[in-house]
Each structure stands twice: as C-alpha cells, then as structure tokens.
C-alpha cells in the first residue's frame, strides 16, 4: 500500500493505492483519493495526515521524535568496520588458532580480543597501542569494553614471546622462534588446500626504524632503506604467494644483511610449512653464489634479481650482449595496456640470465641522467662545496687535481643500463615467463608500502623484543584481513573501490542509543558510499534502522 500522484487537467492529486498479485501480474487498486497536493501542502493537512499515521508506527514515531530533539542520546558508537572485519577475522580461523595456543596459559585478560582490537585499529586509524586504547572507546567491538592499555602490551608481548628450547628447531640464525610463528603456520594449515598448486613464493625485506633503543637485541645500526641512518632499525621480511596472500613474516636485528636472510626463510618454508617444491622469487641484493647453492640443496628453484653493476660477468658480458630482444608487450599508445617489455636470454658458463628491457623506462632513465648532468654543470660553477652531501651527483663525478669534474666516460657507460633489469634462474621457464613472474614480486613491495605507511607500523616506541615483534606482527595480521576483503570485493566485481574510501565509509556507520518515554532504542545512521557493497561482499546483513533494546 502506498501513496501516488495523478495528474488531472494540470492539477496533481494524491491517491491511496493497493498493489495486488492477480493471475501472475501486479495490479493496482485505488482505495481512495486524498485531495489536491498543492491544497494539502498549503493548509498543512498533508503533514497532519502523515503525523497522525505515525501513531500506529512506533518506528516512525521514534524517528520523528528523535529528529525533533525530543529523545535523549545516551551513547554513540561506530559499528561498520568492526562488523566487517570481525566476520573476516572469524572466517580466517584466527580466534580458534589463538585460543588453542592460549589454552596452556593462565591469562585472565581477553588476549584474543586485545589482538583483534589492535589489528582493527591498524586497519582503520593506525597508531600506537596507547592511541588504540583511546580509539576503541568510539567503536563497538565485541567484548573489548574492559581492555586497558596494559592488556594491549601483554598481548603484544605474548605474540612475540620466545618458544621453549625444544621448539627452537628451525629458528633462523638471527632470531628465535616465537608464538607469532606458530600463528602463521597454523593459519597456513587452515588454508593449505588452497595452496595445493603452489609453485611460486615471493620474498622481500625492508627496514623499520625505532625512536628509542629498539629492544634488547632487535634494534641495531644498519643500512637504512628509510634513509634514517641516525636511528636504530630492524629488518622485516615478508613471504607471499602468487595470489598476493601473506604467508609469513620474519623479523631480524637491523644489521642482518639481506643476502643472508633468504636461506633461513626458504628452510622455514620447507620444514615448518611443509612446502615440498617451489620456486622462490626474490629481489636484487638477495643473491650470492652461496645463497644459490643452499637453495639448490633444498631442491628448490629460484628466480633472483641481479645487481647489474656489481656482478662482474653481468656487467661485462650480459648487459652488453648484442643479441636481439623478443617482444613480450609491444609499445602501445593505450595507457591501459601493459608497459612495454622485451626479453632475451644470455648464458654464461653454467649461469642462465634473462635481460629485461622497458623502452619507456629507458627514456626516463636517459632524461633523468641528462637532467642530473645539466644540474651538475651549473652547480660546479659554484665550487666543489656545493656538491658536498649530494648523493645523486656522485655517480657522475670524478676527482681531477683535487677538484670535482663530470665523469663523461661513466655517464656514457650508464647508457647500457637504461630501462634494463637482469634475472638469474635455475628453472626451465622461458624468458617471457620469467620476466612476468618476477614482475609479480612488486606485489610484495606494495604490501610493504601498506605495512609502513597505511598501517603505520613505524615508528615503534616499544622497549622489549617481545612487544616489538608482537606490534609488527599485528600489521601482518591486518594485511591478511585486508587481502581477504579485497578478494571478496573482486569476486563481486567491486575492484574499483579505493581502500581509503572503504575505510572512510565504514567508519561513518554509527549506532546511536537513545531514550524516549522511558524506553531505550538503538538508531543506525544512513549507509553511504561503498559501505553497502562491502557488507554485501562479506555476507553481512545491514542492521535495522531502529530496534528497541
């Protein structure tokens, strides 16, 4: 039953209409006329009619009273994000995994709830554990009301706590096995059927700096990828599969070299994750002859990036090889097409290399070099002191009679590297396949950008190794949930949704508790933006607009 309009001789009238299902079709029956719309509006009769009808609908009466300011608001909470990620958290099996590991501990605090709240905080409004304690007061999170700051610290400490000596088999030379390792391994077991065809894993590392000392053993001086050599740091490694799912994370002291980190990771994947045979893909800086030999001992294959300027046979023979390239993706005027890519294979002794070439990147490299040299020429006119501390200039400078001058020969040699990168492998994959699989490694780099900027893992203020490891691991768990949500959205055809918009729209879903005439009600705000699509993708029913408590 509804009200509709009908035009008669240029005038608009309101009618009360009933819809019926007759002989397989919807038929409408006019129950009566309400009068001319303009007259009803002018005299206020329409408002009176609708308001009188509200007496027979408690829901509309409450909403009208609330809009008129006649209710008392007792509490307001944000509900959207907690509902969505609680479902993803539950579906991942993490509550059961954590409760199983906690069974032998006599914690009186809700550790699982503290960890979930921390992970949710990383996804929605990243910050410290102290900020998390304040943030959660504005959100409705099941069984999290009584969690205090020291509960968060103890939960982080438990995640990063060292396992007994009997469970240290397979620990890396840089870091002991911890509770967080067991969580990762149990997570993988629960979805192992999804990995029956696993043939690629990607590994990369980054550095995260500390504001303080960085724990008892983790914080160390090392090569800072954040360009903060003045601060101690830790090294974080991440392993993902070829679909972008995080498998595990590794945390080492800040002075651990990348080239020594790859073998322990491969060994853990084999012994603890029971991945029998796989191809390991890693970036430049992970490669050494010792590393390749150790990976071969595990019976694994590898695709590794090569530092073109540092490996002699690559610098002297591979990059300069003049054999023709083969097109993978031709250059296209359509910006939506893949970037241009050419490849060729070069074999030197027992080593197999693949040279990859991007024409657009080559043009950019050439323009960048020409810009630097032009700037150098101008800067040199101001004297040598103007160049002190400028790392961008060093590659193209040489010292002549105690003064700097442009190294023309070095600049000409750099042309060989424009738009190129080199891979080495022990697989039988074609050069085209190798290049495309290696490009997937950029997924890891994207995950690290999320981990460090979006999830605000850094800077870290914790002072103990255990809480530091737990703090960083919660970002790993946040990435697990984010990937699960993205997969569900992709399945529903919602790939266009931006992460920032998703979080913003979910955080705008508010539940307001009100009191009216001695009764308590819960009123939900409107659903805006992408929130409805997210709820649909995750399979959650949107709460009613109004319910009585």
- Percent of the chain, pLDDT > 70? 87
Alpha-carbon distance 501 to 531, whole Å?
A: 9
Strand 510-516 and strand 72-78: the pairing is antiparallel
Does the pLDDT at position 79 exceed 50? yes
pLDDT of residue 195: 46
End-to-end CA distance of the chain: 29
Q: Identify whether 319 is part of a domain.
A: no
**Nearest 5°: phi and psi at 228?**
-125, 65
Residues whose CB falls within 8 Å of the CB of residue 415, separated by 6 or more in sequence, listed in order:
366
Q: Which two tokens stand for residue 167?
A: 């469970």
Q: Quick check: is 46 in a domain? A: yes
Quote the CA–CA distance of 160 and 162 in Å, as a whole number: 7
Give the largest Cα separation in the chain, rounded. Answer: 104
φ and ψ at residue 494, rounded to 5 degrees: -110, 40
Domain that includes residue 376, residue range: 361-417
CA atoms of 330 and 339, how far apart (whole Å)? 8
Q: What is the pLDDT of residues 498-543, one digit of tens each?
A: 988 999 999 999 998 877 767 778 888 889 899 999 999 999 999 8
Q: Contact 432/328 with Cβ under 8 angstroms? A: yes
- Residue 8 inside a domain? The answer is yes
pLDDT bin (cut points 50, 70, 90) of residue 285 is low
d(CA 221, CA 543) in angstroms, rounded, equals 51
**Of 375, 400, 417, the domain-final residue:** 417
Crossing angle of helices 179-190 and 149-159, in 10° steps, is: 70
What tokens appear for 430 in the block? Answer: 């074609």
Residue that wins the pLDDT comparison between 347 and 372:
347
pLDDT of residue 455: 45
5-35: pLDDT as tens digits? 888 888 998 888 888 888 888 888 888 888 8
Q: What is the mean pLDDT of residues 298-321?
A: 88
Buried b (16+ CB within 10 A) or exposed e, 346-373: beeeebbbbbbbbbebbeebeeebeebe
- On whether residue 518 sits in a domain, the answer given is yes
Task: Establish if 367 belongs to a structural domain.
Answer: yes
Nearest to residue 339, comparing CAs of 365, 314, 308, 362?
362
What is the residue-averaged pLDDT of the chain? 84
Is 262 or 450 the better-scoring residue by pLDDT? 262
User: 386 pLDDT band (50/70/90 cuts)?
Assistant: low
Beta strands in 232-334 (DSSP E): 233-241, 246-253, 279-282, 301-306, 326-329
Give the tens place of pLDDT for each residue, 201-257: 888 888 888 877 778 888 888 877 777 788 888 888 888 887 888 899 999 888 887
* Residue 273 φ/ψ, nearest 5 degrees: -100, -10
Instruction: Specify whether the CB–CB gap between 320 and 241 falls below 8 A.
Output: no
The number of domains in the chain is: 2
Q: Which pLDDT belongs to residue 385? A: 60
In a domain, 237, yes or no: no
Q: Which residues lie closer than 8 Å to 166 by C-beta, 6 or more apart?
A: none
In a domain, 461, yes or no: no
Q: Which of 417, 432, 460 is at the close of a domain? A: 417
Chain segment 97-114, per-residue pLDDT in tens: 999 999 878 788 899 999
Q: What mean pLDDT do residues 468-491 have?
A: 92
In a domain, 349, yes or no: no
Predicted confidence at residue 294, as pLDDT, reads: 80
Which of 402, 417, 432 is at the close of a domain? Answer: 417
Give me the pLDDT at residue 201, please: 83
């Amino acid at each position: 039953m509804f009200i509709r309009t009908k035009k008669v001789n240029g005038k608009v009238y309101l009618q009360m209409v009933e819809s019926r299902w007759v002989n397989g079709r919807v038929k409408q029956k006019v129950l009566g006329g309400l009068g001319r719309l303009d007259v009803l509006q002018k005299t206020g009769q329409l408002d009176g009619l609708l308001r009188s009808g509200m007496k027979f609908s408690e829901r509309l009466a409450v909403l009208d009273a609330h809009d008129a300011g006649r209710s008392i608001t007792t509490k307001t909470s944000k509900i959207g994000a907690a509902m969505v990620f609680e479902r993803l958290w539950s579906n991942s099996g993490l509550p059961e995994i954590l409760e199983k590991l906690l069974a032998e501990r006599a914690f009186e605090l809700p550790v699982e709830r503290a960890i979930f709240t921390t992970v949710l905080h990383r996804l929605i409004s990243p910050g410290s554990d102290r900020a998390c304690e304040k943030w959660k007061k504005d959100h409705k999170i099941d069984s999290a009301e009584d969690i205090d700051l020291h509960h968060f610290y103890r939960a982080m400490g438990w995640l990063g706590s060292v396992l007994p000596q009997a469970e240290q088999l397979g620990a890396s030379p840089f870091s002991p096995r911890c509770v967080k390792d067991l969580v990762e391994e149990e997570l993988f077991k629960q979805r192992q059927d999804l990995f029956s065809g696993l043939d690629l894993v990607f590994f990369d590392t980054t550095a995260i700096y500390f504001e303080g000392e960085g724990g008892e053993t983790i914080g160390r001086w090392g090569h800072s990828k954040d360009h903060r050599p003045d601060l101690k740091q830790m090294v974080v490694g991440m392993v993902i599969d070829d679909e972008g799912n995080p498998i595990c994370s590794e945390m080492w002291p800040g002075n651990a070299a990348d080239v020594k980190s790859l073998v322990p990771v491969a060994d853990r994947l084999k012994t603890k994750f029971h991945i029998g045979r796989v191809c390991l893909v890693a970036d430049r800086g992970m490669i050494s002859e010792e590393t390749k030999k150790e990976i071969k001992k595990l019976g694994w294959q590898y695709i590794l990036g090569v530092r073109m300027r540092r490996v002699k046979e690559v610098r002297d023979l591979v990059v300069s090889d003049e054999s023709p390239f083969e097109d993978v993706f031709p250059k296209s005027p359509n910006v939506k097409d893949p970037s241009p890519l050419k490849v060729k294979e070069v074999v030197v002794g027992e080593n197999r290399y693949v040279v990859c070439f991007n024409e657009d990147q080559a043009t950019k490299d050439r323009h960048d070099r020409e810009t630097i040299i032009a700037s150098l020429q101008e800067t040199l006119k101001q004297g040598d002191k103007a160049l002190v501390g400028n790392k961008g200039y060093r590659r193209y400078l040489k010292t002549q009679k105690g003064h700097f001058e442009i190294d023309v020969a070095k600049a000409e040699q750099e042309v060989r590297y424009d738009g190129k990168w080199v891979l080495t492998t022990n697989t039988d994959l074609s050069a085209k396949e190798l290049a495309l699989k290696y490009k997937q490694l950029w997924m890891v780099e994207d995950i690290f950008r999320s981990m460090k900027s979006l999830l605000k893992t850094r800077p870290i203020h914790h002072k103990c190794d255990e809480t530091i490891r737990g703090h960083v691991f919660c970002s790993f768990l946040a990435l697990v949930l984010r990937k699960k949500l993205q997969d569900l959205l992709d399945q529903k055809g919602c790939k266009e949704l931006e992460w920032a918009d998703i979080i913003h729209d979910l955080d705008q879903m508010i539940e307001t508790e009100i009191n009216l005439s001695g009764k308590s009600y819960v009123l939900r705000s409107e659903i805006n933006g992408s929130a409805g699509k997210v709820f649909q993708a995750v399979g959650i029913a949107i709460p009613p607009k109004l319910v009585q408590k």
